[in-house]
Structure 1
Amino acid sequence: MKRIVVCGLSNRAFGMFIEPILTKFSQENEIVGLLDSDLKRVEICKKQFPELASVSSYTPEQFSQMVTETIPTTVIVTSRDDTHVNYILQGLEHNLDVITEKPMVTTSQDAKRVMEAEEKSNGKVQVAFNYRYSPFHRKIKEMILDGKIGRVTSIDLNWYIDTYHGASYFKRWNRNREHSGGLSVHKSTHHFDLVNWWIDQKPVEVFAYGALNYYGKDGEHNPSPTDNRYCGTCQEQRSCDYYTRWNDRSNSMTVKDDHIKAESKQDYTNYRPDACIFDHEIEIEDTYVSTVRYDKGALLSYSINFSLPYEGYRLAINGTKGRIETQEFHELSRIPFPVPEQTIDYYPLFGSKEIIHVIQNEGGHGGGDPIIQEDLFLGVDPHRPYEILAGAEAGAYSIAVGEGVWKSSLENKPMRIDDLLENYVYD
């Protein structure tokens, strides 16, 4: 029986971890402690999950007390990104296993601290990279392992975030690099980890360009150069293209999304998740293009844009024996035009094209969430012929690439991954 404490009572904690533990995995797992800096969130958690009414709750400075009183075996970390490192290190110091949301931490320096702490601990770190578990992503991994395209030589990955999802990052704490590491860390680590895992190569060097094109004080759709506006109370709502795209005049339109809505502001003390996307304080990038070189010769060409008409990605993986292609459109309810069904197209170097229709399953993140939850709470599937659950090293390499992207764009020079993980600090 795993005895679990949850650090950070976020929406992700509720939906991704607490709810399935209580409803699907309660015979093997028990939540014995809750920790959050906001007591209001503790109250909301216990109201939403009455099964936890008698579970003890703690504040961040009471971590050691929580461990002493609840005797946990496992720590789940779902707090704000920059606080992950504190709970991971404390958990490892107490020889506990740690399950953390991505990104594992927000800097390469902290990633190295985690790896060093894990070496000295009886506990292990697992990073919840649920994108690995999508049926399409698992099939691509299997095709590469089967040698369908030979030795991987290059990867093209272009990721698109629509105006609804993209704008949400600039309304919340994610807009501050000190809290999120910037979007090349908070978001793109998902994608860098996927590539690292697919090709089973380690990133060596990254070069990138980044820009703030849509949000912040110079955003072309900014109704006026005014700070401290909030979507819920703004007098310029009808002049804001981002607002009117997703809200009708009666303010009754709703869009399905797992991110915090403006109407959820009562769930937090002294915090509003509907800050203006054009505030002057915004300085993180919303557009990146980058190239990554790997230790076995592969080259990645990656781009991401956080303000586009639709959401999804295009992928191509080239090898010495062929090519894999796929295109996915996310959040179909937000795309105002027909889109094709996702397939995987396989092109052998000498032969006929094959179109693969992948067997899918329900659940968040393309069906990945239910399967990673089984691995996390029931143990890794012994019948799976390859490793998929990510550890601290995988988390660290994804962070180093993400940090390298924004530092390279800032300094206009390549960034070596080893240097970043050896406490390279920009000054």
Structure 2
Amino acid sequence: MSVKKYAVCGVSNRAMSMFIAPMLERFGQNSAVVALLDRDPRRHEVCKHRFSQLKEVPEFAPQEFEQMIAQTKPDVLIVTGRDDTHADYIVNGLTYDLDILTEKPMTTTAADCRRILAAEKESKGRVMVAFNYRYSPIHTKIKEMVMAGKLGRITSVDLNWYIDTYHGSSYFQRWNRMRTFSGGLSIHKSSHHFDLVHWWLDQKPVEVFAHGALHYYGPEGEWNPRKAEGRVCATCTDKLHCAYYRRWNSRSQHTQVEDDHLSSSARVAAAEQYSDYRPDQCMFDGEIDIEDTYTATIKYDGGALLSYSINFSLPYEGYRLAINGTKGRLETTEYHVPNRVPFPFPEQTVDYFPLFGSKEIIHVVKREGGHGGGDPVLQEDLFLGDDPARPYRILSNSEDGALAVATGEAVWRSVKEHRPVSIAELLQVEGVQSGSRR
């Protein structure tokens, strides 16, 4: 079996947990990490301390990208740095005919999506986007029900996503809080959700109209104990009066909280071990320039309409979904991260209501692993190739990545400009026109 060589651009926590660890622990027979690239040398040190197998792997700074390619000759780039760095690494990698594996979102703007799509057209390489939400058992079951025609022709979707005070506030303590770095949460986070709907329906988004606001965070947030700039949780004298901090921490210690991203104690550790990076900045700082609440209506080229909302400061985490079609309706409710839900809740099922007939309750087989059991299956597709037994495409490509980013950008542009925004306008492509059918 031939061994593929991987260069990691952006040695983030995500890079280590989602990609490097599986390669070393499960896919070492056909995968090898040959280069680490990051702007912060401390990240190289942390990675090698965690994975002693990488102690001889060469390290590079961003300006040494060409040297890295020449010296290590990778087959694949793994792009897992800050969101705004993705596009340059992807485009540069494609000029060397490399395959690209990028964390979501593919990039932060529709303009950069256009750059990536153009570069891929001229390259022998292909882009894969790690949309792991597609892979959870509940989500694949929904895909199979839609494909089987259980709902008929899809007419509308209701998707309401809830982010709790622990997870939601974390975005406003890190670099995500700046649109320049993340594209805003309608891209960084909601791109996951827009990709799911696009994949379930096999319809492309056409037009978006949205409202949004910053209700909870920033200096005007009503839970701000005192207006001040530049505070960090580790040294903040106001934290005992901060409801968000007190919800998840005691007076004497940071509480270890289960999360797919960073635990509270991990945030403090990251603040101490990385250069020029504070994941515990104050969520009430004035530099925050993104929204924490959105509602949107999205039209698709197959005629379906999506009613979407997301809120980043709620008492519990999860979502409620309904998909309506000419033959029936399905519903499901997820309560995410059970130890952070402050009340008892039922097991997640998919409830199917035929248009004329009796309700069915579908219990889906569970799997272990992050993101509802999706991460391990995604990793198998990434490092072993598509599962030949699966009857549908699931691994995301550059077009999927671009549609998700463009939908997220259309959301915040609609919020700012008070108008409907078309996807074709942002991606400057034909074939995604209002009212067209695939």
2:432 matched to which residue of 1?
none
2:427 matches 1:421: yes
Letter in 2 for 1:369: D
Pick aligned residue for 1:247 from 228, 249, 266: 249
Q: 2:202 aligns with which of 192, 200, 203?
A: 200
Query: Corresponding residue for 2:114?
Result: 112
CA shift in 2, pair 1:155/1:285, >3 Å: same
Deviations 1:264-312 (A, max 9, x none): 2122102211110001111210000000001110000000000000000
**Alignment-derived partner of residue 4 in structure 1:** 6
Name 2:310's counterpart in structure 1: 304
CA shift digits 1:68-97 (9 cap, x unpaired): 111111000000000000110011000000
> Is residue 150 of structure 2 the alignment partner of residue 148 of structure 1?
yes
Partner of 1:79: 81
Show structure 1 runs of 5+ residues with no match.
Answer: none
Shift in Å, 1:13: 0.4
Alpha-carbon separation, structure 1, partners of 2:376 and 2:17: 11
Correspondence for 1:185 among 174, 184, 187: 187
The 5 A counterparts of 1:190-269 are 190-257=192-259, 258-259=261-262, 260-269=266-275
Q: Give the counterpart letter for 1:362 in structure 2.
A: E
- Deviations 1:384-413, CA, capped at 9 Å, x for gaps: 000000000000000000000000010110
Q: Distance in 2 between matches of 1:22 and 1:413?
A: 49
Matching residue of 2:90: 88
Give the TM-score of the pair, scaled to structure 2.
Answer: 0.96
**What residue is the counterpart of 1:390 in the other structure?**
396
Given candidates 119, 124, 127, the residue that maps to 1:125 is 127
What displacement does 1:359 show?
0.4
1:20 maps to which residue? 22
Shift of 1:263: 2.7
Which amino acid in structure 2 is aligned with residue 290 of structure 1? Answer: A
> Which of 271, 275, 283 pairs up with 2:281?
275
Distance 1:187 1:305 in 2: 11
CA distance in 1, matches of 2:254, 2:290: 31
Distance 2:292 2:130 in 1: 24
1:332 and 2:338 equivalent?
Answer: yes
Superposition deviation, residue 252 in structure 1: 4.4
From 306, 322, 326, the counterpart of 2:328: 322
Residue 262 of structure 1, CA deviation = 2.0
Distance 1:170 1:370 in 2: 29
SS where residue 290 of structure 1 aligns? strand
Give the TM-score taking structure 1 as reference length.
0.98
Q: How many residues align?
A: 423
2:292 corresponds to: 286
Identity %: 61
Cα separation, 2, equivalents of 1:67 and 1:178: 28
* 1:379 partnered with 2:381: no
Letter in 1 for 2:18: M
Aligned-pair distance for 1:47? Answer: 1.1
Q: Distance in 2 between matches of 1:121 and 1:306?
A: 39
Determine the C-alpha separation between the residues in 2 that align with 1:180 and 1:344.
Answer: 33
Q: Return closer, same or farther for 1:24/1:120 CA change in 2, 3 Å cut-off.
A: same
The whole-number CA distance in structure 1 between the counterparts of 2:242 and 2:47 is: 34
CA contact (8 A) 1:9 1:78 kept: yes
1:350 aligns with 2:367: no
Task: State the distance in 1 between where 2:37 and 2:289 align.
Answer: 31
Letter in 2 for 1:398: A
SS at match of 2:141: helix
The aligned residue for residue 30 of structure 1 is 32
Q: C-alpha separation between the residues in 2 aligned to 1:280 and 1:316? A: 37
Alignment partner, residue 368 of structure 1: 374
- Tell me the alpha carbon deviations over residues 345-400 of structure 1, each in whole angstroms, 9 at most, x when there is no partner: 00000100000000010000000000000000001000100000000000000000
Structure 1 stretch displaced more, 97-106 or 53-62: 53-62
Q: Deviations over 1:201-245 (max 9, x none)?
A: 010000000000000010000011111111111101111100110
Q: Distance in 2 between matches of 1:252 and 1:420?
A: 43
Structure 1 match to 2:105:
103
Structure 1 CA distance for aligned equivalents of residues 182 and 219 of structure 2: 20
Contact 1:76 1:100 in 2 (8 A): yes
Contact 1:109 1:422 in 2 (8 A): no
Give SS of 2:334's match.
strand
